[in-house]
Structure 1
Amino acid sequence: MPRRFIRHPTGIPIQISIPNCNADLPEHRSNCDAHRVQTNDISVGGLSCESPEIMNAGQAVEVEIWLNNPSFKTIGHVLWCKGQGSGYLVGIGFSDFATAYSVRMVEQVCHIEEYRKQILIEEGRDLSSEAAAEEWIGKYAADFPSYPC
């Protein structure tokens, strides 16, 4: 089945947790902990990330991304989970338009932060987030892909 959404690598830190998890039950105890992980990619359809714990398809998961203050927090659902190294790679999907739009904005912020790091490495310029956003928008916003919603 072809992918519906274009993926963009990000590698940004996020936190995933199980909402309303009952840690009093022994079989849930380890899954109730919040895990700080890295995203592998992100798109309007969802994201994939590393996880130290196996997750079940259909399971609700809270995703928190700290790119701004306050952080962006939403609920998604596990689409798939597969073993990778000593942990798991998890696909998390978002279904409603408002969340999809918000994730798209987060995706743009990810691109801007990557641009900021690239400019520091390649040119030695330490841009503020605002200056990086202004430059990135001028150079790349017109080519940023639009997604069907």
Structure 2
Amino acid sequence: MPRRFIRHPASIPIQIGKRVSSDHDTQYHTQTVDVSAGGLSCESEFLMSPGEPVEVEIALNQPPFKTIGHVVWCKHNGDRFLVGIGFADLATAYAVRMVEQVCYIEEYRQAVLEEEGRELSSEDAALEWISKHAGDFPQNVH
């Protein structure tokens, strides 16, 4: 069966919250492996079961972006696990993609500072990045 959504490699720092028992939540920091229109994948310290709810937090700005996803699949990946997290609606998946774009813009802002010595505001960096790279930003294909 062909994939419904195309995956795009992305390394976004995220925090995952998982309910371990009725009175104990576990949260840990990780990074996405890829992002698609339907969700994302990331590494996990824990084995997770398909259908299990997880909280995803991306703290690029204040307040951080938070949403609830559900585990779609979980595979062994060395001594850790690779987890696919899906979102209940396309609006949430779209919001995650926008956060991914913000990550690229912030990386661009830092690169300009390091390489050119120019300090850009977030807004100026966004305008430059969009004019130079928005056409190359992977589009969601259904």
- Shorter-chain TM range is 0.7 to 0.9
List alignment gaps of at least 5 residues for structure 2.
Answer: none
- Amino acid in structure 2 at the alignment position of 1:89: L
Report how many residues are paired.
142
Structure 2 residue aligned with 1:9:
9
Identity %: 63
Retained in 2: the 8 A contact 1:15–1:37? yes
* One of 70, 73, 77 as aligned partner of 1:77: 70
Kindly report which structure 2 residues correspond to 1:37-52, keeping only aligned pairs within 5 A, or say none. 37-52=30-45
Retained in 2: the 8 A contact 1:62–1:75? yes
Tell whether 2:107 aligns with 1:114: yes
Kindly report which structure 2 residues correspond to 1:1-149, keeping only aligned pairs within 5 A, or say none. 1-18=1-18, 21-23=21-23, 32-147=25-140
Q: TM-score, normalised by structure 2?
A: 0.83
The CA RMSD over aligned residues, in Å, is 2.3
Q: Once the 2 structures are TM-superposed, how far is the Cα of residue 139 of structure 1 from its aligned partner?
A: 1.2
Retained in 2: the 8 A contact 1:115–1:132? yes
SS of corresponding position for 1:33: strand
